[in-house]
Amino acid sequence: DTAVSQTPKYLVTQMGNDKSIKCEQNLGHDTMYWYKQDSKKFLKIMFSYNNKELIINETVPNRFSPKSPDKAHLNLHINSLELGDSAVYFCASSQLGYGYTFGSGTRLTVV
């Protein structure tokens, strides 16, 4: 019973490609997020979705776009991948006032 599941776990792709990472939560949480963790383990929020409405959009390139078909899903689509996009991307969900539940991460390597 995985609470927050994201796929794929590993993604190796060439520069310039377009790729998507999928995320699903079965907790009934209202808000979902995407975080990027760099090689120094620093976590930076990228997007937050609440009831299909974008409420936080950190200064990320517009090559990154979140897509939420419903409350339980928040996918991350990345266009024209660059070397600097290599990182671990985490999906998370939460209910207001409580801790987050994170997925296990997607390690993206752009070559």
Partner 1 sequence: SQQGEEDPQALSIQEGENATMNCSYKTSINNLQWYRQNSGRGLVHLILIRSNEREKHSGRLRVTLDTSKKSSSLLITASRAADTASYFCATPYSGGGADGLTFGKGTHLIIQP
- What's the distance, CA 24 to chain centroid? 10
d(CA 79, CA 61): 10
The mark string for 30-59 relative to partner 1 (x by CB under 8 A, - otherwise) is -x-x------xxxx-x--x-x----xx-x-
| Residues 64-93 close enough to bind partner 1 by CB under 8 A | 90, 92
Q: Please select the residue that binds partner 1; options are 19, 22, 65, 100, rule is CB under 8 A.
A: 100
Which residue, 47 or 78, has its beta carbon nearer to partner 1? 47
Q: Which candidate, 37, 56, 40, places its Cα nearest to that of 94?
A: 56
Which residue, 52 or 80, has its beta carbon nearer to partner 1? 52
Q: How near is the Cβ of 53 to partner 1 at its closest, in Å? A: 10
